[in-house]
C-alpha cells in the first residue's frame, strides 16, 4: 500500500499550525520513521494518516484513492498507541482477537477461527503461553508486542506506530527495535513509526522523514539524512554539532578574520555562512603553533571509548565540543587551561540565517 | 536482586518513629475523640432505631410493615427509585462523557451546574416544582386545563427526586472517564469497531465499577430523600407518601413503634448500601470514589 500525503495542514483551536503543508510519499512495504523534536507535529501527522484526526486542509491518498473522508474504521489501519491502549478487562487473546470479533457479522470469522488467528499472531510476536494473562500482568515490552499483534490481526493496509519504544527502558528498547526490524522484513507491512530518538530512527528505518515545526525538513535514507543534510536543522538534530559563523572569500573560510583550516577546499561562493561540524569530525592539530582554530581547553573527560574536550573559543558563546579517538595522539597530556588548535575534517556549510 | 536493607542494631535512646508520628498520648486522644463522636452520633441512633422498632415485640413490628399504608409507601419509594435512578444513569453517562471526552463551550458551566443540587437546600428543590407546576404556578393553569397533576402526585415526587439525585452518577463517572482518556476508544475504533460496540465492549467495562458505585449512592439517596419530596408530596396516605414521609406521619401520630419499624427498613437500606459500597471500593480500586462528594 502506497500512501501519499498531500499538502496536509492542521490547526488546533487557538494555536499555531501543528502541520503546515506536509507532502510526502510512503512507499509500499517500506519502514518509514517520522522523526522530529517534541511538538513538531509528527504524531499529529500519524493520526491524520490513521483517520484519528482530520486535517484542516490537504489530502491523504491510499494507493492513489483519496481516503481523506474515510473514517478510521474504513481505513483499516493498524495503529499502535504510545501507551498501548490495551483493553485491560480482556485477556491477551481477546485483545488480539478484538478487531476480528468487531467485524460486521457478514465477514466476521467464526469464534474458533478468530482464536486460531490470535494464537498465530501471538506466536509471531513470541508471546505463546501468555494468552490468558491480563495486560496488567505483562511487562512493558510484552504489552508493546500484544498491541502490535492486535494491530496486525485486522490485516491492516498500513501499520502506524506512535513512539513505539517511548515507554520502555533502554535495554528493552534496543532488543525490541531489532526485533521489530526483523518482523517488518518478514511480514512486509508498510510501516510508519513516530520517534523523537535520532538513533532509533536511523538504525531502524528504510527512510527517515525529519519534521520540524509542522514542516518536512528532509526525507531520505538514514545515510542520506546523516551525510547529506539539506538544512542546518537536520544536521543539528541528527547528533550534536559545533556551529561556527564563517565568511567565505576566494574558497577559504574565515572565522573572526582568522582562516579556518578545513580538510578540502571550500566550493561555496563568497558570502556569510554557518559552518557546522560534528564533534567527532574535528581533530587536534598536532602542531600547536601551526594553522588551526585556536582555543583554550575547558574540560577534558575520558568517556566510553573516546575523549571529550570542550574548547573555549573567543567570540563563541558555546564551547566547541571535540570527541577524540582514544587511540589518537596528543590528548594524554591535555590539561584544562591549555591552548590548543583543531582542524576540521568534515563539515557542512549552510547559508547564514 | 533483593533490595531489603540488612538488619542493623538499633541504637538505644533513638526515637524509632517518623517525625510526623504523634506521641502515644496524642494518638490515643485522637482515636478516642473520633470513636466517641461515632458512638454518640452514629451508632447510638442507629441502635435506637432498631431497639425502638422492636420494643413492642416482633409481632407489632411486622404488623407495622404490612400495614396497607406502609406497603403503599414502600411501593411508591421503589417506584420513584425505579424511575429516577435509570434516568439519572442516562444523564450521568451523557454528562460525564461530554465533560471527560471532548471540549465544548460552556463545559465549566455544566460542571458547576451538575453540583447545584448538592448546594441547594432540598426544600428549595421541592419548591421549584411547586412554583412551576403547582395550581398557581407558571404551568399550573395549562396543566389543570389538560387534567395533568404533577405536584402533590407521583410525577412531582419523581421530578424532585431526580433533581436531588442528579449529581451522583455524573460526579462519580467524570474522574473515572477523565483518567481513562480516549486511547482505548481510539484503539477500538482503529480496529474497526463501531461506535456502539466500542461503548459496550471498551468504555462500559472501563467505567463499570464507578458506574455501579454512582448508581448505588444515587439509589440510596432516591429512597431516603425527605425534604424535596415532602414539599411536593402533599402527604396523601397510600398515594403520595414515600417511606421517609410515612415515618414522619406515624411519628407525629405518636405511633412510635410503627414509625421506627418503617425507619428500620431505611436503616437496613443504609447498611446494605454501606456494605455494597465497601465491596465496590475494594473491587474497583482507587479509581472508584475519587470524586469530592460532599
Calculate mean pLDDT across residues A52-69. 92
* pLDDT value at residue A288: 59
Closest B-chain CA to A160: B190
* pLDDT value at residue B1: 43
Calculate mean pLDDT across residues A253-282. 83
Give ∠ CA B206-B210-B216 in degrees, rounded to 5.
140
Write the residue in A72, A73, A81 that is nearest to B183 by C-beta.
A81
Q: Which residue has the higher pLDDT, A6 or A331?
A: A6
Give the SS3 label for residue A219.
Answer: strand
ipTM over 0.85: no
From-to residues of CATH 3.40.50.300 in chain A = 3-230
Q: Does position A273 have pLDDT exceeding 80, yes or no?
A: yes
Q: Which of B190, B197, B210 to probe by mutation at the A interface, max A CB count within 10 Å?
A: B190
Between chain A and chain B, how many beta carbons pairs sit less than 8 Å apart? 62
Q: How confident is the model at residue A252 (pLDDT cuts 50, 70, 90)?
A: confident
Q: Which CATH superfamily is domain A240-351 in?
A: Nucleic acid-binding proteins (2.40.50.140)
* pLDDT value at residue A265: 72
| Distance, first Cα to last Cα, chain A | 40
Q: How confident is the model at residue A290 (pLDDT cuts 50, 70, 90)?
A: low
A94-119: buried (b, 16+ CB within 10 Å) or exposed (e) per residue? bbbbbbbbbeeeeeeeeeeebbebbb
The whole-angstrom distance between residue B67's C-alpha and the CA centroid of its chain comes to 28
Query: What does pLDDT average to over chain A?
Result: 89
* pLDDT value at residue A217: 94
Integer Cα distance of A235 and A105 in angstroms: 52
* pLDDT value at residue B8: 57
What are residue A302's DSSP bridge partners?
A307
Q: Does position A171 have pLDDT exceeding 50, yes or no?
A: yes
Cβ of residue B205 closer than 8 Å to a chain A Cβ: yes
What are residue A211's DSSP bridge partners?
A216
Closest A-chain CA to B204: A89
Hey, what's the cell of B219?
439509589
Instruction: Write the CB contacts of B54 (distance below 8 Å, at least 6 apart in sequence).
Output: B61
| Edge-first strand listing for the sheet containing A348-351 | A258-259, A252-255, A242-249, A271-277, A348-351
Tens digits of residue pLDDT in A323-341: 888 877 677 778 888 888 8
Q: Using an 8 Å CB-CB cutoff, list chain A residues near B192.
A: 73, 76, 99, 102-103, 154
Integer Cα distance of B260 and B267 in angstroms: 10
The domains located in chain B, with CATH, are 56-283 (1.10.3720.10)
Q: Which CATH superfamily is domain A3-230 in?
A: P-loop containing nucleotide triphosphate hydrolases (3.40.50.300)
Q: Using an 8 Å CB-CB cutoff, list chain B residues near A151.
A: 190-191
Q: Which residue has the higher pLDDT, A32 or A342?
A: A32
Radius of gyration of chain A (CA): 25
CB < 8 Å & 24+ apart, contacts of A41-44: A41/A10, A41/A211, A41/A213, A41/A214, A42/A194, A42/A196, A42/A211, A43/A162, A43/A163, A43/A194, A44/A10, A44/A18, A44/A19
Calculate mean pLDDT across residues A237-254. 86
**A48 C-beta neighbours (distance < 10 Å), count:** 24
* pLDDT value at residue A216: 95
From-to residues of CATH 2.40.50.140 in chain A = 240-351
Q: pLDDT under 50 in chain B at which residues?
A: 1-4, 286-287, 289-294
User: Cβ contact (<8 Å) for B186 and A89?
Assistant: no
* pLDDT value at residue B2: 47
Q: Which residue has the higher pLDDT, A80 or B135?
A: A80
Q: How confident is the model at residue A120 (pLDDT cuts 50, 70, 90)?
A: very high
Tens digits of residue pLDDT in B150-184: 888 899 999 999 999 999 999 999 998 888 888 99
Q: Using an 8 Å CB-CB cutoff, list chain B residues near A71.
A: 189
Amino acid at each position: 500500500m502506497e500512501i501519499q500525503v498531500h499538502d496536509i495542514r492542521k490547526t488546533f483551536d487557538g494555536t499555531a499550525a501543528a502541520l503546515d503543508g506536509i507532502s510526502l510519499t510512503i512507499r509500499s512495504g517500506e519502514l518509514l520513521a517520522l522523526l522530529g523534536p517534541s511538538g513538531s507535529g509528527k504524531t499529529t501527522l500519524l493520526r491524520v494518516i490513521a483517520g484519528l484526526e482530520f486535517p484542516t486542509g490537504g489530502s491523504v491518498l491510499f494507493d492513489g484513492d483519496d481516503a481523506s473522508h474515510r473514517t478510521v474504521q474504513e481505513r483499516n489501519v493498524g495503529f499502535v498507541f504510545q501507551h498501548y491502549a490495551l483493553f485491560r478487562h480482556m485477556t491477551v487473546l481477546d485483545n488480539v482477537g478484538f478487531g476480528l470479533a468487531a467485524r460486521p457479522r457478514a465477514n466476521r470469522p467464526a469464534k474458533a477461527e478468530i482464536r486460531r488467528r490470535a494464537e498465530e499472531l501471538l506466536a509471531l510476536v513470541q508471546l505463546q503461553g501468555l494468552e490468558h494473562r491480563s495486560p496488567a500482568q505483562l511487562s512493558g515490552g510484552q504489552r508493546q508486542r500484544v498491541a502490535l499483534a492486535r494491530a496486525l490481526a485486522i490485516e491492516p493496509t498500513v501499520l502506524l506506530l506512535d513512539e513505539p519504544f517511548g515507554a520502555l527502558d533502554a535495554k528493552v528498547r534496543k532488543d525490541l527495535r531489532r526485533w521489530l526490524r526483523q518482523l517488518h522484513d518478514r511480514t512486509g507491512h508498510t510501516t510508519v513509526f513516530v520517534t523523537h530518538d535520532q538513533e532509533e530512527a536511523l538504525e531502524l528505518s528504510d527512510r527517515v522523514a525529519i519534521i520540524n515545526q509542522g514542516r518536512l525538513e528532509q526525507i531520505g535514507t538514514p545515510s542520506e539524512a546523516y551525510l547529506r543534510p539539506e538544512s542546518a536543522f537536520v544536521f543539528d538534530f541528527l547528533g550534536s554539532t559545533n556551529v561556527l559563523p564563517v565568511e567565505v572569500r576566494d574558497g577559504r573560510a574565515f572565522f573572526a578574520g582568522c582562516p579556518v583550516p578545513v580538510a578540502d577546499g571550500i566550493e561555496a561562493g563568497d558570502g556569510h555562512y554557518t559552518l557546522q561540524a560534528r564533534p567527532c569530525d574535528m581533530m587536534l592539530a598536532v602542531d600547536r603553533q601551526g594553522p588551526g582554530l585556536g582555543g583554550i581547553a575547558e574540560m577534558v573527560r575520558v568517556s566510553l571509548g573516546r575523549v571529550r574536550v570542550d574548547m573555549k573559543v573567543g567570540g563563541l558563546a558555546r564551547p566547541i565540543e571535540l570527541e577524540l579517538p582514544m587511540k589518537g595522539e596528543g590528548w594524554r597530556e591535555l590539561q584544562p587551561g591549555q591552548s590548543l588548535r583543531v582542524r576540521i575534517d568534515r563539515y557542512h556549510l549552510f547559508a547564514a540565517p | 536482586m533483593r533490595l531489603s536493607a540488612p538488619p542493623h542494631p538499633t541504637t538505644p535512646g533513638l526515637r524509632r518513629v517518623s517525625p510526623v508520628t504523634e506521641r502515644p498520648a496524642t494518638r490515643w486522644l485522637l482515636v478516642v475523640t473520633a470513636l466517641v463522636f461515632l458512638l454518640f452520633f452514629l451508632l447510638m441512633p442507629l441502635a435506637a432505631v432498631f431497639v425502638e422498632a422492636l420494643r413492642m415485640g416482633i409481632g407489632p413490628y411486622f404488623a407495622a410493615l404490612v400495614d396497607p399504608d406502609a406497603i403503599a409507601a414502600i411501593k411508591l419509594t421503589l417506584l420513584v427509585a425505579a424511575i429516577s435512578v435509570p434516568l439519572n444513569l442516562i444523564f450521568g453517562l451523557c454528562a460525564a462523557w461530554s465533560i471527560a471526552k471532548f471540549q465544548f463551550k460552556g463545559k465549566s458551566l455544566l460542571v458547576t451546574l451538575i453540583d447545584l443540587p448538592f448546594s441547594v437546600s432540598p426544600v428549595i428543590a421541592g419548591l421549584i416544582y411547586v412554583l412551576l407546576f403547582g395550581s398557581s404556578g407558571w404551568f399550573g393553569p395549562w396543566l389543570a386545563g389538560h387534567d395533568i397533576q404533577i405536584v402533590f402526585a407521583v410525577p412531582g415526587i419523581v421530578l424532585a427526586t431526580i433533581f436531588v439525585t442528579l449529581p451522583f452518577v455524573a460526579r462519580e463517572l467524570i474522574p473515572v472517564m477523565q483518567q481513562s482518556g480516549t486511547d482505548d476508544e481510539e484503539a477500538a475504533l482503529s480496529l474497526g469497531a463501531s461506535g456502539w460496540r466500542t461503548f459496550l465492549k471498551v468504555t462500559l467495562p472501563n467505567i463499570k465499577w464507578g458506574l455501579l458505585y454512582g448508581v448505588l449512592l444515587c439509589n440510596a439517596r432516591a429512597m431516603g430523600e425527605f425534604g424535596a419530596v415532602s414539599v411536593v408530596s402533599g402527604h396523601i396516605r397510600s398515594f403520595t407518601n414515600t417511606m421517609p414521609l410515612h415515618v414522619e406521619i406515624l411519628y407525629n401520630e405518636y405511633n412510635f413503634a410503627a414509625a421506627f419499624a418503617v425507619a428500620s427498613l431505611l436503616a437496613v437500606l443504609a447498611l446494605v448500601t454501606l456494605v455494597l459500597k465497601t465491596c465496590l471500593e475494594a473491587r474497583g480500586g482507587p479509581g472508584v470514589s475519587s470524586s469530592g462528594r460532599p
